[in-house]
């Protein structure tokens, strides 16, 4: 069975990924003020491959590729240019996500689930904790 042909080249996908990143960086949300006005607050969005392919591209009227095609290009590509392009896009999305998590304190679950970050240092400290024994005047040791 032949693989369906996509209307989007890897070069076009990379250009569109940059457009999506710019939108994520420049995102603003409405925030009510005490005076009753609405202020626009800068709030970067964490970019994701799934949203980019399934929602953002079609909303912009652009052709898209399926996630299967995207991951085939990443994992099984016989074309090094496709592989390089997909790796660059993934790297850009991850770099922005890491910066948002690191500098804005948002996206902790994204950081743990998608970026492999953990609270391991805290866990190791807890595991090393051992109760101390105290000997009282009556000679009985207590924790």
81-101: per-residue pLDDT in tens?
888 888 899 999 999 988 888
* Cα gap 104→118, rounded to integer Å: 17
Residue 130 pLDDT more than 80?
A: no
Q: How many domains does the chain have?
A: 1
Residue 15 belongs to some domain of the structure: yes
Q: Note the Cα 86 to chain centre separation in Å.
A: 15
Residue 104 belongs to some domain of the structure: yes
Residue 54 belongs to some domain of the structure: yes
Residue 4 belongs to some domain of the structure: no
Residue 110 belongs to some domain of the structure: yes
Task: Please name every residue paired with 29 in a beta bridge, in sequence order, or none if there are none.
Answer: 41
* Residues of the domain holding 79: 10-31+38-116
Q: β-pairing, 38-42 with 28-32?
A: antiparallel
Give 102 or 41, the one with higher predicted confidence. Answer: 41
Contact 93, 18 (CB under 8 A): no
Question: How many helices and strands, by DSSP H and E, does the chain display?
Answer: 7, 4
| Percentage with pLDDT > 70 across the chain | 70
Residue 82 belongs to some domain of the structure: yes
Question: Residue 85: is it exposed, middle or buried by C-beta count within 10 angstroms (0-12/13-18/19+)?
Answer: buried
What are 112-122's pLDDT values in tens digits?
Answer: 766 666 766 55
Residue 123 belongs to some domain of the structure: no
Q: How high is the mean pLDDT of the chain?
A: 80
Q: Which of 24, 6, 2, 27 is nearest to 85 (CA)?
A: 6
| pLDDT band, residue 2 (cuts 50/70/90) | very low
Residue 65 belongs to some domain of the structure: yes
| pLDDT band, residue 18 (cuts 50/70/90) | very high
Residue 3 pLDDT more than 50?
A: no
């Amino acid at each position: 069975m032949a693989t369906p042909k996509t209307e989007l080249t890897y070069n076009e996908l990379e250009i569109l990924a940059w457009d999506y990143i710019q939108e994520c960086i420049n995102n603003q949300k409405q925030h009510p003020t005490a005076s009753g006005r609405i202020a626009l607050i800068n709030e970067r969005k964490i970019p994701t491959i799934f949203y980019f392919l399934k929602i953002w591209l079609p909303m912009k009227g652009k052709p898209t590729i399926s996630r299967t095609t995207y991951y085939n290009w990443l994992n099984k590509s016989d074309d090094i240019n496709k592989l390089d392009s997909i790796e660059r896009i993934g790297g850009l999305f991850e770099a922005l996500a890491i910066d948002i998590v690191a500098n804005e304190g948002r996206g902790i679950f994204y950081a743990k689930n998608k970026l492999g970050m953990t609270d391991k240092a805290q866990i190791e400290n807890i595991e090393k904790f051992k109760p101390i024994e105290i000997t009282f005047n009556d000679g009985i040791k207590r924790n």
